[in-house]
């Protein structure tokens, strides 16, 4: 596979955005392929796609991942978090609409389907975008997503908001602490508001988290599993025993998440998703 770097001037965020794209080296113009948005975690950049590249290549060689364009835009942590900031930079709009449109025009689009894979902060961004417009995505896989075991600013314990997670927690209400504003950027609130649409789209959802995550993100992942079960939204929740936020299991879990999305993008996987209407 071939990895290239690019930049484009974004209207959504009002500045130039750097990104990386991974695709088959022999990809032809006009070839029917899907787009996979690979969203990086906090304090990272599009360079995270370099690290994931061997996993995509391995699965492609084993016919466990289809020919596709995989792309990762660099998104800031502070002032970013994949959120649309009032009167400021709109990072959710960039990843869900503007960036795919740019790629379609510059990298062999239009694409046959769009899918999302996100890690940590990127897992939060992937779920946020997918639950907002489930019909637009063929699958979403969130690895150690940065989500909290509560649905309001007041119900999330301090122990769940250390360091940069505290910054995200405050940013979800744009620093106001307002519950209504917080809900607008809550994965749970979006799932509740759009439950019928998510079920109707039969969106394949994977939530994968280490059961011993150092930042207690497994508590948020487990809570999301409960909410999705309550809403009868089909999903797969994987709480990996002995695994933390990073470590030797992270590569295996990322490979499995990529394979999950790859299955959804194949004709057989798409047919299976079309028949999914309730929780496993």
pLDDT of the chain along its 280 residues, tens only?
Answer: 999 999 999 999 999 999 999 999 999 888 999 999 999 999 999 999 999 999 999 999 999 999 999 999 999 999 999 999 999 999 999 999 999 999 999 876 789 999 999 999 999 999 999 999 999 999 999 999 999 999 999 999 999 999 999 999 999 999 999 999 999 999 999 999 999 999 999 999 999 999 999 999 999 999 999 999 999 999 999 999 999 898 888 899 999 999 999 999 997 544 544 444 333 3
The pLDDT score that the predictor gives to residue 267 is 72
Beta bridge partners of 70: 22, 36
Beta bridge partners of 39: 118
The pLDDT score that the predictor gives to residue 53 is 98
Region for residue 247 given its phi and psi (left: phi exceeds 0; alpha: psi -120 to 50; beta: otherwise): left
The pLDDT score that the predictor gives to residue 274 is 47
Alpha helices per DSSP H over 82-212:
91-93, 99-106, 121-132, 163-171, 179-184, 187-193, 195-201
| Number of residues assigned to the chain | 280
Please say whether the beta carbons of 93 and 132 come within 8 A: no
- Please enumerate in sequence order all residues whose Cβ is within 8 A of that of 111, keeping only pairs 6 or more positions apart, or say none: 33, 34, 35, 69, 100, 103, 104
Count of alpha carbons within 13 angstroms of residue 188, beta-carbon side: 23
The pLDDT score that the predictor gives to residue 247 is 81
The pLDDT score that the predictor gives to residue 36 is 98
The pLDDT score that the predictor gives to residue 268 is 55
The pLDDT score that the predictor gives to residue 248 is 80
Alpha helices per DSSP H over the chain:
48-61, 91-93, 99-106, 121-132, 163-171, 179-184, 187-193, 195-201, 217-230, 248-265, 267-274
| Burial letters 15-54, b for 16+ CB under 10 A, else e | eebebbbbbbeebeeeeebbbbbbbbbbebbbebbeebbe
């Amino acid at each position: 596979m071939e990895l290239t770097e690019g930049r484009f001037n974004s209207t959504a965020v009002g500045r130039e955005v750097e990104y990386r794209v991974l695709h088959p080296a022999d990809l032809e113009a006009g070839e029917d392929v899907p787009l996979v948005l690979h969203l990086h975690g906090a304090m990272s950049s599009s360079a995270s796609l370099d690290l994931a590249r061997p996993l995509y290549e391995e699965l492609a060689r084993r016919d466990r991942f289809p020919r596709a364009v995989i792309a990762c835009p660099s998104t800031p942590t502070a002032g970013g978090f994949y959120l649309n900031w009032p009167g400021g930079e709109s990072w959710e709009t960039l990843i869900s609409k503007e960036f795919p449109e740019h790629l379609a025009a510059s990298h062999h689009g239009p694409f046959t389907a769009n899918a999302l894979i996100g890690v940590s902060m990127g897992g939060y961004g992937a779920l946020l975008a997918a639950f907002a417009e489930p019909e637009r995505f063929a699958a979403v896989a969130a690895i150690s997503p940065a989500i909290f075991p509560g649905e309001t600013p007041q119900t999330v314990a301090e122990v769940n908001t250390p360091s940069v997670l505290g910054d995200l927690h405050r940013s979800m209400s744009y620093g106001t602490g307002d519950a209504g504003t917080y809900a607008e950027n809550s994965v749970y609130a979006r799932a509740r508001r759009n439950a019928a649409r998510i079920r109707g789209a039969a969106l394949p959802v994977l939530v994968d988290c280490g059961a011993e995550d150092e930042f207690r993100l497994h508590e948020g992942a487990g809570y999301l599993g409960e909410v999705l079960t309550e809403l009868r939204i089909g999903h797969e929740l994987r709480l990996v025993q002995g695994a933390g936020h990073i470590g030797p299991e992270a590569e295996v879990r990322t490979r499995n998440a990529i394979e999950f999305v790859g299955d959804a993008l194949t004709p057989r996987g798409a047919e299976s998703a079309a028949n999914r209407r309730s929780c496993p």
